[in-house]
Structure 1
Amino acid sequence: MDARKERIDADAAWAILSTRPLVVTARGKKVTEWQAGDENKEAILKAAMGPSGNLRAPTLRLKDRIVVGFHEDYYKATFAP
């Protein structure tokens, strides 16, 4: 999907984010892990949405989690062999 052509608003973002039990948001130097569920919906969307109201990039769908945003140390710890 090309996020420049197809925008993902809050409702569509929640439909994606709620498909995994864990949502990880990375913004600046802060990485937060959330249990996906209605009780965390508002906080997760606040962390996952950009200032334009679209889902932030990059967004990665993994087997057990969704990662929103980029944090170099988190990526190294998660994806390094």
Structure 2
Amino acid sequence: MEAHDIAVAETVNASKKLGREDALGMARQAKRLIAAKGKKVTAVDVTAKTPDDDELAALMLGPTGNMRSPTVRVGQTLLVGYNDQVFADELG
């Protein structure tokens, strides 16, 4: 994978715990949500399907109730969790 210059607009320290309301707010601002848990990747078109809060929270929160990391916003897409292929596809 080639190194690319990516402009970082905002960085939030991992010690700042982001919970359910933070996650739902981020999801509602996105058009697409791609959540990776291990090898499982779930993509949701937030504008077409209008998922409910519980569905979004299940994709975005870990077992402690905090936002899973990494969480990256790329344009109108929100990436939650890490998957090599997803990051390569979305970040180029």
> Which category describes the TM-score, using the shorter chain as reference length?
0.7 to 0.9
TM norm structure 1? 0.86
1:25-81 CA deviation, whole Å, 9 max, x = no partner?
00100111112265333112101101111000000011121000000111122223x
* Mapped pair 1:47 → 2:62: no
Moved runs in structure 1, 4+ residues, more than 6 A? none
Q: How many residues align?
A: 79
Alpha carbons 1:58, 1:70 under 8 Å: kept: yes
Percent of aligned pairs with the same amino acid: 23
Larger Rg: 2
- The answer to whether the 8 A contact 1:34-1:40 is kept is no
Cα RMSD over matched residues? 1.5
Unaligned ranges ≥5, structure 2: 1-11
TM-score by length of 2: 0.77
